[in-house]
Amino acid sequence: QYSFQENGWGASLAERLVRKCDVVNRGLSGYNTRWAKLILPRLISRSTGAENTVAVTIFFGANDSALKDLNPKQHVPLEEYAANLKSMIQYLKSIDITEDRIILITPPPLQESAWEKECVAKGNKLNRCNATTGEYAQACVQVARDCGTDVLDLWTLMQKNQDFSSYLSDGLHLSTKGNSFLAAQLWSRLDKKLSALPWLLPYWRDVDHVDPEASLL
């Protein structure tokens, strides 16, 4: 949901792809794969132009990996998380969005001390831990292997820089730097798929101003 805010990774991709294709944001703050699996057919269907879809990203795990005892509302067991991702991929395939157009994104790492401050400020205990998030990230990577989709392992890539805290605004959500990092990593995968897309409508200098219909219709 936050990907279309100022400096968000979704907004960055939309800017890169202007006049080539529309970037549609269907992120929902706080949702997990259990809920997303149920609403996916409402978000993407044949009637909403699935045949013209050039890429779909599936980005879940930060909420699913919440600790069951401390956050049962968002928590989804690891095995169910993997099954839900597979179910969403199977649904997309059923409406003819093939594996090569699907990109899974793992949850980013969790900076526990920063997120604990956010939890304590709301009267709660730390309700996530990075090691557990990593298990969900590994499961996401394995689902991609099993299903033949691409995957962006954000959890691993961000921790190659040992101090990954700058990628996160509050220990959980992406900062401006984290959004830029994700956008760059995702673009390196999308560029191959989307570089051949033509511009929609001619450049203004190429429009015949005497007979615009000849250029535009």
- Give the tens place of pLDDT for each residue, 62-90: 999 999 999 999 999 999 999 999 999 99
The model's pLDDT over 160-207, given as tens digits with 9 standing for 90+, comes to 977 899 999 999 999 999 999 999 999 999 987 787 888 899 999 999
DSSP state of 181: H
Domain that includes residue 27, residue range = 2-215
Across all residues in the chain, what is the average pLDDT? Answer: 94
β-partners of residue 150 are 103
What local confidence, expressed as pLDDT, does residue 38 receive?
97
What are the helix (H) ranges across the chain?
A: 9-16, 33-43, 78-94, 112-121, 130-147, 154-158, 176-194, 212-216
- Identify the CATH number of the domain in which residue 177 sits: 3.40.50.1110
How many independent structural domains does the chain possess? 1
pLDDT above 80 (res 146): yes
Q: What SS3 state is found at 197?
A: coil
Q: What is the pTM of this model?
A: 0.93
Q: What SS3 state is found at 162?
A: coil
